[in-house]
Amino acid sequence: MLRLIAVLMLSVSALVGAETLDAMVKKTDLNNADEVFGLAQWCGENNLPTKARQYYNAVLKIDKDHEAARAALGFVRNGDRWVSSAHLRDAGGGKVDPTPKAGDVAAPNAAQMTWDLNVPKDPEPENPFITGYVEKLPGLKNDTTDMDNAVATMLTDENLPMAIPRLCAALARPDYGDVFGAANVAMHLIKDGRTDAARPLLPFIAKASERITDAGDLEAAAFALGKFRDRRALPRLIEMMDHKDEVVRDTAANAIGLITMLPQPVTKARASQWWAQNHALDEKTVFQQQLKSQDPMVAVEAAKALYELRDKTMVPVVIKLMRGDDRQVTLKALQLMVKISGRDWSYDPAAAKEVRDKRVDLIEKWWKDEGPRFVFVEDAKPKKEKPAAPVAQIDHEAEWVKQLGSIEGNVSQQAEGNLMSKGEGSVTALLRGLDDQAVIVRRKCHDLLRAITKQDFQYDPRAEPVDRAKPVAAWNNWASQKGLLKNGDEEGEGVPPAK
């Protein structure tokens, strides 16, 4: 009787999601282990545990050594065999190899990841200035001038030491509703080669993204997590691949590719399998395993990762990949060989195979001779001393343009007033400001130019450099025709072109 009741309850549970399950099954290639694994995961996440187990077992019928499916069913590898983890625990006194192997321990999910959530020390806790910017981030729209200004303010050298700990503390609060600002601070720092300065934000961005629902915030979080290239972010990124917003899903997939070096497109099933196999292994071991992949794109991406670790074992693989027929792979392999050796070897990925093979023969001979004593070219380069900067006269208009982005007191407003009072005499400096790195400076220069000249060439300060080039050229041509450019700047000689 009890068995009958249990069966009936399971049947009712299955009927609740039957229509949706049918749709998922129709979209799944039941002969593809990764797709069936994804279907099993979907069942588990949608309260269909019996179906989930059924499909996990179906995965093993296709691929008996599917690591992720084995882990989901509670199996671990013991030597050459798969055994129940419960069986290993119950066996007690049996000697088990303590060295972690792929799949030995169930991979942790995002909630189970261990992060250091201790807020960094604030060097000036009594200074309230930057707190106002941190606290107003949740009320600012993403990708607006106000958001850009807040981020730029926090990134200044004088404010960053206070901004980082206060952003961390804010992200740790359950009522703090923004991760976009912190993610952008992190991305700017990483782009400028200051990853160590950004790193304290990593755990707080990862954890805050678990409660944040705004798609724009999650996209920024996923992008930043990928830039950190920290494997601990993978479980959260894998979760994001289920988000309803396509941009969030795609950004998460790209971030996973950056961390794992898996070629795109990265599916959730493939990412989950990678995490199940490799979460307990060190980074170098993981990429050395991927270097042996039968998929040449996986192998060449692994070689790129091992190059950064200065692991010479990848060089013979790169040479072998240069003999392949996949143009994308051979091009990536060539780019890597140039970094390795400092030469392109007159190798053309588009040439006939016999021509390419002759060039590869030369590379193989070189490696056979040089390999044992080889030093990577980048490590062998002598460091160049920077030349002393020439002494130049102060250009007041140029200084005022720089001050347009200042956050100190009324410096910015005073600079605007000075430039306006100079009138047409400030046009050259303002034209240069249209190519400034800071959006706020470009915007203010454009506003001042329109006010002074009464001209408008449809310039968008937030556009990409290539899109800004045409209106900037139009401004320069107009100013040249009017004779407003300073000596040496006529015909655009002194005004740099848009990048």
Task: State the pLDDT at residue 58.
Answer: 87
CA distance 447 to 438: 15
Give the pLDDT confidence score for residue 14 in this predicted structure.
Answer: 45
Say which residue the tokens 């898996």 belong to. 262
Alpha helices in 17-159 (DSSP H): 18-26, 33-45, 49-62, 67-72, 85-91, 129-136, 145-155
Per DSSP, the three-state class of 100 is coil
Q: Are 266 and 298 in contact (CB under 8 A)?
A: no
What's the pLDDT at 232?
A: 92
Q: Amino acid identity, residue 328?
A: Q
What is the per-residue pLDDT for 394? 54
In sequence order, the 6+-apart residues with CB closer than 8 A to the CB of 284 are 306, 309, 311
Q: Which residue reads 């882990």 in tokens?
A: 71
> In angstroms, rounded to a whole number, what is the distance separating the alpha carbons of residues 433 and 453?
15
Q: What is the pLDDT of residue 206?
A: 96
**For domain 17-87, is the CATH number 1.10.700?**
no
Q: Report the pLDDT value the prediction gives residue 408, as an integer from 0 to 100.
A: 57
The span from the CA of 83 to the CA of 223, in Å, is 38
The pair of structure tokens assigned to 445 is: 């220069």
How confident is the model at residue 468, as a pLDDT? 86
Residues listed for the chain: 499
Q: What pLDDT tens digit does each residue of the chain (499 aa) get?
A: 434 444 444 444 444 444 577 888 888 888 887 788 778 877 776 777 778 788 888 888 888 777 777 777 766 655 556 665 444 444 443 443 444 444 445 788 998 888 989 999 999 999 999 999 999 999 999 989 999 999 999 999 999 999 999 999 999 999 999 999 999 999 999 988 888 899 999 999 999 999 999 999 999 999 999 999 898 999 999 999 999 999 999 999 999 988 888 887 889 999 999 899 888 888 888 888 888 888 888 889 889 888 888 888 899 999 999 999 988 899 989 989 998 988 888 888 888 999 999 999 999 999 988 887 888 877 776 655 545 444 444 567 888 888 887 655 566 777 888 888 888 888 888 998 888 877 778 888 888 988 888 888 888 888 888 888 888 888 888 888 888 876 545 444 444 443 3
Per the listing, tokens 């399971």 go with 10
What pLDDT is attached to residue 392? 43
CB count within 10 Å of CB 421 equals 9
- What separation in angstroms does the CA of 275 have from each of 69, 140, 237, 262, 292? 12, 36, 11, 12, 18
CA distance 413 to 247: 39
Q: Report the predicted TM-score, pTM, of the whole model to 2 decimal places.
A: 0.52
Name the DSSP letter for residue 497: P
DSSP classification of residue 231: G
Question: In whole angstroms, what is the distance from residue 108 CA to residue 59 CA?
Answer: 21
User: To 5 degrees, how large is the angle CA 305–CA 291–CA 267?
Assistant: 80
CB atoms under 10 Å from CB of 294, counted, come to: 6
Q: Which residues pair with 83 in a beta bridge?
A: 76
Name the residue ranges covered by the structural domains of the chain. 17-87, 107-280, 286-379, 397-492
